[in-house]
């Protein structure tokens, strides 16, 4: 099955989870459920020889040897172009990159062993903390695994965490060393006086070209060196490994807290091994050394970290890319990362899939009438064929959708969505035109384990199977009507198993609020169990808002629905407790918005800022969004009462998105508070 090209349909019938036998019924709870292969005992190891993250690389080197393990591209040049945007000239930067260059599994093992010896030569010892603060890259993963060879604990934080987050994560863990991209040196310099424990700074060579002019005297008490220098140090002073124990702390992964302050999730080595086992229990049979995974999401995000480690175990080739260089349009004199690497597996968050979808639709709508009509007819025909089990979908792929698939290298077999709910329309569209997109669900606290869709059980109606490393149950959330006695049963999802955290680093209050003494982690997410054993996430408790009439609406659900509008690039839904309708704040997709205005005979200026502020245009966009809502069969209280349009793009850099591309709801609402009040006043 590792060579199989999937079609988006359900070929398996389940059950995808089963009730754990001989468990007592607790009022207000369901019985715990597990993967069918884990009824007697939960999975703790993907292979008998693997107990830790350190063991994963040893196993992979023995098993996959000289096959390609991971690769990266070398920047050749930087091109700067000036463009007129909203009446102002802005400078845009584009990279020119070389081809992918690879390390084999044996070479990767040797590489991290040498880096680990370098860390040992610096004086770092078992249990010391090594902070990683930078974008996803081959050096990032190399330094992480180098740390594991000496039983160091890595500390991860998004490179967009901000100074307060960086300062608190360094201070709380008393980190002795930090690996970071050179461009982030100024940020480190600002917090350095507050971090007395920090002794060593290792710079990512791959980002050295981006290094700003930072006075080196700020680091006069710090040993500053590059990754290459660290490797040279390791070559001069070889060191024995200090293999970690399963119960050792592998990682403190910082994520946002309920109060907005970052909190460090503790992840044991045994939890990483269990998470790889859990992922393997559902999708492991489908991946092999012939597969290629494009790695570009933040490694400080649990989904990326676990799936990259799982890929090493499976023998899949990793190719490192960047959101800045993914497409051909974002580079110069070379192919983008996707076309150059030709992945068979692509992991994305909802914002990535929406961006790809809108790009495809823009290209289709700008083509000739015959091609445009052929595309939409083929899409409808393929959906009908697969729904009825009829042959012919592969022929449609070859004739109509081949050019779309060529844009991603032509070899993509499956896409995986995580990090948030994906609109059904988008999942169907991408699955029919590009490759089946399956969904998953997990949290940092569960090492990414919660639910994962089997590619042969493709569905848009659930998040998937329960991984074999955890068991799950639902607990009543009576206030909002989510009861385990409902049909299907609904409630807050609780998860327990070897991949689940023991708590938050040096944070007893947060630990006590989320982790029970009997091992259950209270996710704060509302879920339901389908009749075939699938898990479906409905929303988060904190994103359920009670409106004026006392009814609850789910903000993330509404965002996933309204995001399907062609004019929406990103969206934040807000509901005031003293109003009976929600409001949408959107950052519009500029080309689609201008085409939308033209098609509706809009006579005013098509400057983006003007379109976003124009009352007539807001009314047209609101009606389009409400149409999308009605098509999705939303209830009357879920239909929008107003819309606010923002002409400033939402990015991690300006604080409106997290590094994982999730919206920063509070910041967006604060910025637009006056406009929200105006929108409510006109609704």
Using the predicted structure, report yes or no on whether residue 607 has a pLDDT greater than 90: no
pLDDT score at 664: 87
Distance of alpha carbon 410 from alpha carbon 679, whole angstroms: 45
Asked if residue 660 is part of any domain, the answer here is yes
Distance of alpha carbon 328 from alpha carbon 297, whole angstroms: 18
Is residue 286 located within the same domain as residue 178?
Answer: yes
Distance of alpha carbon 683 from alpha carbon 677, whole angstroms: 10
129-133 and 177-181 as β-strands: parallel, antiparallel, unpaired? parallel
Asked if residue 315 is part of any domain, the answer here is yes
The count of structural domains within the chain is: 3
- CATH number of the structural domain spanning residue 580: 3.30.300.30
Higher pLDDT, 214 or 167: 167
**Per-residue tokens: 322:** 């960047």
Radius of gyration of the chain (CA): 25
Query: What is the rounded end-to-end Cα distance, in angstroms, of the chain?
Result: 54
Span 581-601, average pLDDT: 92
Is residue 427 located within the same domain as residue 561?
Answer: no
Span 634-641, average pLDDT: 91
Is residue 145 located within the same domain as residue 279?
Answer: yes
Residue for token pair 């509706």? 600
SS3 content of the chain, % helix, strand, coil (to 5): 40, 25, 40
Question: Where does 389-518 have alpha helices with state H?
Answer: 393-396, 402-406, 424-433, 508-514
> Tens digit of pLDDT for each residue in 298-337?
898 899 999 999 999 999 999 999 988 988 888 999 999 9
Residue 37, beta-bridge partner list: none
Strand order through the sheet with 33-34? 18-19, 33-34, 471-475, 490-496, 521-529, 535-540
pTM, whole model, 2 decimals? 0.87
Asked if residue 376 is part of any domain, the answer here is yes
Span 408-435, average pLDDT: 90
Residue for token pair 């084999």? 104
Is residue 297 located within the same domain as residue 354?
Answer: no
pLDDT score at 551: 77
Short-list 447, 510, 443, 477, CA closest to 258: 510
Asked if residue 510 is part of any domain, the answer here is no
Asked if residue 28 is part of any domain, the answer here is no
> Tens digit of pLDDT for each residue in 508-552?
999 999 999 999 999 999 999 999 999 999 888 888 887 776 778
Asked if residue 176 is part of any domain, the answer here is yes
Residues contacting residue 85 through CB under 8 Å, at least 6 positions apart: none
Residue 521, beta-bridge partner list: 495, 515
Is residue 182 located within the same domain as residue 57?
Answer: yes
Is residue 221 located within the same domain as residue 165?
Answer: yes
Asked if residue 36 is part of any domain, the answer here is no
Distance of CA 167 to the CA centre of its chain: 24
pLDDT score at 613: 92
CB count within 10 Å of CB 466 equals 31
Range of the domain at 117: 53-68+103-320
| Among candidate residues 402, 437, 472, the one where a domain is terminated | 437
Strand order through the sheet with 223-226? 223-226, 200-204, 177-181, 129-133, 153-156, 249-256, 262-268
pLDDT score at 258: 40
Say whether 161 sits in a helix, a strand or coil: coil
Q: Residue 166 in contact with residue 191, Cβ under 8 Å?
A: yes
Span 449-478, average pLDDT: 96
Q: How many CA atoms lie within 13 A of 257 on its CB side?
A: 19
pLDDT score at 408: 86
Using the predicted structure, report yes or no on whether residue 621 has a pLDDT greater than 70: yes
- CATH number of the structural domain spanning residue 168: 3.40.50.12780
Phi, psi (degrees; rounded to nearest 5) at 191: -100, -10
pLDDT bucket at 449, cuts 50 / 70 / 90: very high
pLDDT score at 509: 94
Is residue 147 located within the same domain as residue 265?
Answer: yes
Asked if residue 300 is part of any domain, the answer here is yes
Is residue 166 located within the same domain as residue 227?
Answer: yes
Span 112-121, average pLDDT: 99
Distance of alpha carbon 67 from alpha carbon 315, whole angstroms: 8
**Per-residue tokens: 464:** 């998937």
pLDDT bucket at 9, cuts 50 / 70 / 90: confident
pLDDT bucket at 2, cuts 50 / 70 / 90: low
200-204 and 177-181 as β-strands: parallel, antiparallel, unpaired? parallel
Is residue 313 located within the same domain as residue 357?
Answer: no
Instruction: Calculate what percentage of the chain has a pLDDT beyond 90.
Output: 70
Distance of alpha carbon 42 from alpha carbon 268, whole angstroms: 16
Short-list 576, 645, 573, 656, CA closest to 615: 645
| Among candidate residues 437, 453, 475, the one where a domain is terminated | 437
Is residue 291 located within the same domain as residue 202?
Answer: yes
| Among candidate residues 420, 437, 454, the one where a domain is terminated | 437
Higher pLDDT, 265 or 591: 265
pLDDT bucket at 493, cuts 50 / 70 / 90: very high
Is residue 587 located within the same domain as residue 662?
Answer: yes
pLDDT bucket at 640, cuts 50 / 70 / 90: very high
Cis, peptide link before residue 488, omega less than 30° from 0? yes
Is residue 592 located within the same domain as residue 632?
Answer: yes
Q: Residue 158 in contact with residue 136, Cβ under 8 Å?
A: no
pLDDT score at 13: 87
Run of H or E residues at 629: helix 615-631
């Amino acid at each position: 099955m590792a060579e199989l090209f999937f079609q988006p349909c359900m070929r398996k019938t389940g059950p995808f989870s089963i009730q754990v036998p001989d468990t007592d019924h607790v009022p207000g709870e369901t019985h715990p459920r597990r993967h069918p292969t884990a009824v007697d005992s939960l999975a703790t190891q993907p292979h008998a020889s693997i107990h830790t993250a350190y063991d994963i690389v040893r196993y992979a080197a023995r098993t996959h040897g000289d096959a390609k393990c991971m690769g990266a591209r070398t920047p050749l040049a930087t091109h700067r172009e000036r463009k007129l945007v909203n009446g102002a000239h802005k400078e845009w930067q584009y990279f020119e990159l070389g081809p992918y260059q690879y390390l084999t599994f044996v070479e990767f093992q040797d590489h991290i062993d040498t880096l680990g010896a370098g860390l040992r030569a610096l004086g770092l010892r078992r249990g010391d903390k090594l902070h990683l603060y930078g974008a996803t890259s081959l050096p990032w993963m190399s330094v992480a695994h180098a740390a594991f060879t000496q039983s160091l604990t890595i500390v991860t934080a998004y490179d967009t965490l901000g100074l307060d987050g960086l300062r608190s994560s360094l201070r709380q863990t008393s980190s002795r060393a930090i690996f970071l991209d050179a461009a982030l040196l100024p940020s480190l310099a600002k917090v350095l006086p507050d971090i007395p424990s920090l002794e060593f700074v290792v710079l990512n060579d791959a980002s050295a070209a981006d290094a700003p002019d930072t006075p080196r005297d700020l680091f006069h008490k710090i040993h500053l060196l590059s990754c290459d220098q660290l490797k040279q140090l390791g070559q001069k002073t070889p060191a024995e490994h200090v293999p970690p124990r399963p119960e050792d702390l592998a990682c403190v992964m910082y994520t946002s807290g309920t109060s907005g302050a970052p909190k460090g999730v503790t992840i044991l080595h045994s939890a990483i091994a269990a998470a790889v086992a859990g992922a393997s229990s559902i999708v492991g049979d489908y991946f092999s050394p012939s597969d290629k995974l494009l790695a570009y999401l933040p490694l400080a995000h649990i989904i990326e970290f676990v799936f990259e480690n799982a890929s090493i175990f499976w023998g899949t080739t990793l190719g490192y890319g960047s959101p800045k260089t993914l497409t051909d349009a974002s580079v110069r004199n070379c192919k983008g990362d996707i076309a150059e690497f030709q992945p068979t597996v692509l992991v994305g968050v909802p914002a990535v899939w929406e961006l790809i979808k809108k790009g495809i639709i823009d290209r289709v709508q700008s083509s000739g009438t015959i091609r445009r009509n052929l595309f939409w007819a083929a899409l409808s025909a393929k959906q009908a064929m697969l729904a009825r089990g009829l042959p012919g979908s592969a022929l449609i792929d070859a004739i109509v959708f081949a050019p779309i698939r060529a844009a991603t290298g032509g070899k993509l077999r499956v896409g995986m969505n995580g990090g948030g709910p994906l609109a059904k329309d988008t999942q169907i569209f991408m699955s029919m035109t590009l490759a089946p997109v399956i969904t998953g669900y997990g949290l940092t606290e569960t090492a990414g384990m919660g639910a994962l869709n089997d590619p042969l059980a493709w569905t848009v109606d659930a998040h998937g199977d329960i991984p074999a490393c955890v068991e799950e149950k639902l607990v009543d959330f009576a206030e909002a009507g989510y009861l385990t006695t409902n049909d299907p049963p609904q409630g807050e999802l609780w998860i327990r198993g070897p991949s689940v955290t023991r708590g938050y680093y040096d944070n007893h209050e947060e630990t006590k609020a989320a982790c029970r003494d009997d091992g259950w982690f209270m996710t704060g997410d509302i879920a339901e169990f389908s009749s075939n054993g699938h898990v479906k996430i409905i929303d988060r408790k904190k994103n359920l808002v009670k409106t004026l009439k006392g009814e609850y609406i789910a903000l993330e659900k509404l965002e996933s629905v309204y995001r399907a509008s062609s004019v929406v690039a990103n969206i934040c839904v807000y509901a005031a407790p003293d109003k009976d309708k929600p409001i949408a704040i959107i950052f519009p997709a500029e080309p689609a918005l201008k085409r939308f205005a033209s098609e509706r005979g809009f006579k005013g200026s098509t400057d983006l800022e003007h379109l976003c502020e124009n009352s007539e245009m807001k009314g047209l966009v609101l009606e389009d969004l409400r149409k999308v809502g009605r098509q999705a069969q939303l209830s009357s209280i879920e239909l929008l009462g107003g819309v606010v349009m923002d002409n400033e793009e939402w990015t991690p850099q300006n604080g409106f998105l997290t590094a994982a591309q999730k919206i920063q709801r509070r910041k967006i609402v604060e910025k637009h508070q006056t406009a929200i009040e105006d929108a409510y006043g006109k609704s």
